[in-house]
Structure formats: structure tokens, C-alpha cells
């Protein structure tokens, strides 16, 4: 099987911090492949996929009332401040308990709103116990002014528990605006940012005795300041099997985020193709039809990961005073399956399988189907990612003909 010899080469395409399976798992699979123990290799891949698919992500966000914690949580979740299920902003916190907020698109991702340690009067250890510290993947400590001594003490306690924390300083847009107003002649953005960062760091270092990770953000512009850096750092620090879901959860729109989603989805689809390749040797009609029915849905999901779902496009179009249809003309993805537009992709693929099946018989047809589905998924990931990047770089104009990069040839795992 060609996939075996290509496995190594495929994963070399991705940076360490964007790999969705751990390095030692990749090494193990390669070792099995070398010894020609393909069945063992595949079962390791199946397990890795199970881990990725079932991985929950729980993010704890703590900070005092008024720091912008709720706005930050809504930004992470991809929920507008005015939407019904938004974390309430601009209200004084009264609860001493944590509140769970689900991600708008990913049911496995939960963001937990923890009351600020200062408002609970708990010492750090009891605070962490009360807040069920061991249920989170990491902590984010939010402040809009100087971090307080008890924020630093909390970080220390989190570290002692062997967990990761990150300091987020919000409302940077306000600081810059004020500074510019008060010192219009000498205002220097980078200098102001550096001063705020140094001030936070120095203050925290006194309590922490190591350099703490501080990120300056504006909750109203996630693609600016340190928000992208925060995302990259979190991605790096997470265990590999959680990177896939985290990268899909990212809401900021930068080329780095889009490429990160593209990388992650490509790895997932590659692993699934290997898994499906083994199934293809067994004639399992039921499973195949189920998969086909899900394809349309899969493609719609890809669109939403890249901010190309109908609702997002409507928003974009509105901003440019265009109709969604006028807008779509400039994007690549709506034309991917355009030969006969009135037929759904699902129908097309079912027909395709039936036709091939009648000529070649079940198992071979299945293999061909999966190959085609794999090819289409890659094509679609690239089209969606390229569309998203084009929108980002050139929101009004789509003059440049976009290329579609198909990194994997059709016969990849024959
Ligand atoms: P919480 O009490 O910590 O949950 O804070 P909220 O999220 O309710 O925010 C308090 C106020 O600060 C609200 O009026 C927000 O609109 C505003 N706010 C939050 N984050 C930012 C930010 O990054 N920049 C600016 N300029 N205002 C912010």
C-alpha cells in the first residue's frame, strides 16, 4: 500500500506544533510500517483518531468583574455580545461558582467562566479545589489593569499543580487610544505596548520568580495585538491530540489561523483515509452509504470552520453592500461542484458509487469511492482556506484567479 511509504513524508510537511498526533505515535507507526506490520500501524492510527475525535477541551478563564472577562469568553466562543446565549457583559458578578459556556460550533469545547479569586476570598489552593482545577486544559487569567498580587499567587498555585496558565491583559485598544489622545506628538504604538507588557511582567515576576507569559489583547479585534500569539502559544503547549479541536475553535481571522486549520484538517482527512482504506477491503454497504450522506454536511462544516458559512458570508456581503450571490461569484468553493449545480454533492456521489459498483463490485467500488472522497475533501479544504485568505487580504476585490493546491495526488494510497 502506497500510504505506508508516504506516511513519513506526509507528516514531514507539518511543523511540530501543528501536528495532531504525538511525535512518538508517528515514530511507532513508522516502525510498524518498516517491519511491514501494516495492521499494527493501522490500529495505532485508529486509536490516534479516536483520541482526536473524542478529545474534550476545557478552558478556564478567571478574572475580576469589569476586566472584560465575559467579552473575552464570547470572543473565544465565536458568540456576539448581543446574541442570546452570550456570557452577560457589563454586569457585576455575584456568583461564587463557575459557569460553563459552550463553543458556538464545537460541542467538545467548553469555556468556563470562573469568579475572580479576589471576589471569593479563598486562598489559592482552596480556590483551585472549589473550581475543580484538574478539569481544565489550561487557565487564562484576565486583567484590564495591573495584575493583582492574588492573580500572581493563583498562577503560582496553578503551576504547582503542574498546569499551564497565561496572563491576558485586555482593553489594549483603550490604552493606545488614550495615550494617543494625551500625547499626540510623541505617541509611539510599539513603545506604549512594550511599556504595558514590561509593567505587567515585572509586577508578576516579583511573585512568580520566572518570566510569566503575558498577552496584550483587544477583545474587539482578535486578529490584532497579541491575540494571534496567544493562540499559537496555546496550540504549541497543548497535547497533540487536542490541537485539532483547538485549531478549529479559533475565531481570529489571520493567515496563520487559516493555515493552521488547513494543516489540521489535512492531517485528519489523511488519517481517516488510511482508516477507511482498510474498511474498503470489506464490503460494508451500510457504512459506506452513511458516509456519503455525511459528505455534504462535512463540506458545510469545513465552510463554517473557515468563516465561509452562509451566515458569515451574509455579514461580509452586508459590509460591502453586496448581495450574497454577487459575493459568492468571487469565491472558489461554490463553483467546485458546479457542473450541474442543482444536484447535491451527496446525490452525485451516491450515483457515482452505484455506477462503479455495478461494473466492478462492492469492495473495489468502495476503495474508489474513498479515494474520490479523500480527493474531494482535500480539494475542498484548500478551496475554503484559499477563499478565506483571499477574503482576508482583499475583502473587496477578487480579481486574482485563485489557484487550488492539491497536495495529494489521487493515487496516493492505492
Ligand atoms: P467582565 O465583568 O469582566 O465580564 O467584563 P465585561 O466583559 O462585561 O466588560 C466590561 C466592559 O468592558 C464592557 O463595557 C465591555 O464592552 C468592555 N470591554 C471588554 N473588553 C474590552 C476590550 O478589549 N477593549 C475595550 N475597549 N473594551 C472592552
- Determine the residue of 69, 71, 87 to mutate for testing ligand 1's pocket, defined as the one with the most ligand atoms within 8 A of the Cβ atom: 71
Measure CA of the first residue to CA of the last residue in the chain; give whole Å. 6
How does residue 34 score in pLDDT terms, banded at 50, 70 and 90? confident
- Determine the residue of 63, 64, 68 to mutate for testing ligand 1's pocket, defined as the one with the most ligand atoms within 8 A of the Cβ atom: 68
Does residue 65 have its Cβ closer than 6 Å to ligand 1?
Answer: yes
156, 165 in Cβ contact below 8 A?
Answer: no
Does residue 116 have its Cβ closer than 6 Å to ligand 1?
Answer: no
Q: Which of 66-75, 268-277, 352-361 has the lowest mean pLDDT?
A: 352-361
Does residue 173 have its Cβ closer than 6 Å to ligand 1?
Answer: yes
How does residue 194 score in pLDDT terms, banded at 50, 70 and 90? very high
The segment with the largest mean pLDDT, out of 119-123, 173-177, 323-327, 348-352, is: 173-177
Query: Quick one: pLDDT at residue 183?
Result: 95
Backbone angles phi, psi at 68, to 5 degrees: 100, 20
Does residue 143 have its Cβ closer than 6 Å to ligand 1?
Answer: no
How far does the centroid of ligand 1 lie from the alpha carbon of residue 144, in Å? 9
Does residue 376 have a pLDDT over 80? no
How far does the centroid of ligand 1 lie from the alpha carbon of residue 13, in Å? 40
Q: For all residues of the chain together, what is the average pLDDT? A: 81
Query: Quick one: pLDDT at residue 130?
Result: 94
CA distance linking residue 281 with residue 56, whole number of Å: 32
Does residue 70 have its Cβ closer than 6 Å to ligand 1?
Answer: yes
Query: Quick one: pLDDT at residue 404?
Result: 35
Does residue 296 have its Cβ closer than 6 Å to ligand 1?
Answer: no
pTM of the model: 0.83
Does residue 208 have a pLDDT over 80? yes
- The whole-number average pLDDT for the span 224-243 is 94
The candidate with the shortest Cα–Cα distance to 50, out of 288, 236, 268, is 268
Does residue 277 have a pLDDT over 70? no
Chain-centroid distance, C-alpha 163: 21
Does residue 162 have a pLDDT over 70? yes
- The whole-number average pLDDT for the span 208-212 is 83
Does residue 66 have its Cβ closer than 6 Å to ligand 1?
Answer: yes
Query: Does 362 or 120 have the greater pLDDT score?
Result: 120
The three cell numbers locating residue 160: 504547582
Does residue 67 have its Cβ closer than 6 Å to ligand 1?
Answer: yes
The three cell numbers locating residue 83: 446574541
How far does the centroid of ligand 1 lie from the alpha carbon of residue 168, in Å? 13
How far does the centroid of ligand 1 lie from the alpha carbon of residue 118, in Å? 18
User: pLDDT tens across 284-338, in order?
Assistant: 344 444 455 566 677 788 888 888 888 888 877 777 777 878 777 777 766 665 5
Does residue 398 have a pLDDT over 70? no
Give the CA distances from residue 201 to residues 11, 136, 162, 216, 284, in Å, rounded to whole numbers and listed in that order.
37, 24, 21, 11, 59
Does residue 218 have its Cβ closer than 6 Å to ligand 1?
Answer: yes
402, 333 in Cβ contact below 8 A?
Answer: no
User: pLDDT tens across 328-375, in order?
Assistant: 777 776 666 554 555 665 566 556 555 555 554 555 555 555 666 676
Amino acid at each position: 500500500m502506497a500510504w505506508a511509504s508516504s506516511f513519513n513524508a506526509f507528516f514531514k510537511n507539518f511543523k511540530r506544533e501543528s501536528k495532531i498526533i504525538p511525535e512518538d505515535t508517528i515514530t511507532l507507526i513508522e516502525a510498524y510500517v518498516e517491519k511491514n506490520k501494516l495492521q499494527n500501524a493501522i490500529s495505532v492510527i485508529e486509536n490516534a483518531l479516536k483520541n482526536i475525535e473524542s478529545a474534550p477541551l476545557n478552558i478556564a478563564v478567571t478574572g475580576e468583574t469589569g476586566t472584560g472577562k465575559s467579552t473575552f469568553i464570547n470572543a473565544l466562543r465565536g458568540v456576539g455580545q448581543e446574541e442570546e446565549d452570550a456570557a452577560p457583559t457589563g454586569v457585576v458578578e455575584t456568583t461564587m461558582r463557575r459557569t460553563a459556556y459552550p463553543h458556538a460550533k464545537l460541542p467538545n469545547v467548553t469555556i468556563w467562566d470562573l469568579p475572580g479569586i479576589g471576589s471569593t476570598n479563598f486562598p489559592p489552593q482552596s480556590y483551585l479545589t472549589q473550581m475543580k482545577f484538574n478539569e481544565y486544559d489550561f487557565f487564562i487569567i484576565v486583567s484590564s489593569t495591573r495584575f493583582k498580587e492574588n492573580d500572581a499567587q493563583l498562577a503560582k498555585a496553578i503551576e504547582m499543580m503542574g498546569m499551564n496558565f497565561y496572563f491576558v491583559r485586555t482593553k489594549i485598544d483603550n490604552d493606545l487610544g488614550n495615550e494617543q489622545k494625551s500625547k499626540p506628538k510623541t505617541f509611539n504604538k510599539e513603545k506604549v505596548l512594550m511599556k504595558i507588557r514590561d509593567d505587567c511582567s515585572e509586577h508578576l515576576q516579583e511573585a512568580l520568580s520566572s518570566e510569566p507569559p503575558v498577552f496584550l489583547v483587544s477583545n474587539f479585534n482578535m486578529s490584532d495585538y497579541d491575540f494571534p500569539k496567544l493562540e499559537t502559544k496555546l496550540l504549541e503547549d497543548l497535547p497533540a491530540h487536542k490541537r485539532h479541536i483547538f485549531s478549529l475553535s479559533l475565531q481570529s481571522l489571520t493567515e496563520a489561523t487559516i493555515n493552521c486549520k488547513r494543516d489540521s484538517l489535512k492531517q485528519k482527512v489523511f488519517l481517516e483515509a488510511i482508516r477507511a482504506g482498510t474498511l474498503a477491503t470489506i464490503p460494508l454497504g451500510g457504512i459506506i452509504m452513511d458516509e456519503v450522506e455525511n459528505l455534504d454536511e462535512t463540506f458545510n462544516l469545513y465552510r463554517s470552520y473557515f468563516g465561509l458559512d452562509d451566515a458569515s458570508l451574509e455579514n461580509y456581503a452586508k459590509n460591502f453592500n453586496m448581495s450574497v450571490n454577487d459575493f459568492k461569484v468571487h469565491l472558489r468553493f461554490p463553483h467546485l461542484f458546479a457542473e450541474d449545480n442543482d444536484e447535491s454533492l451527496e446525490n452525485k456521489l451516491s450515483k457515482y458509487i452505484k455506477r462503479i459498483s455495478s461494473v466492478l463490485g462492492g469492495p473495489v467500488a468502495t476503495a474508489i469511492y474513498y479515494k474520490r472522497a479523500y480527493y474531494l475533501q482535500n480539494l475542498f479544504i484548500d478551496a475554503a482556506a484559499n477563499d478565506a485568505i483571499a477574503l482576508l487580504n482583499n475583502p473587496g476585490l477578487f480579481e486574482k484567479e485563485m489557484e487550488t493546491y492539491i497536495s495529494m495526488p489521487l493515487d496516493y494510497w492505492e
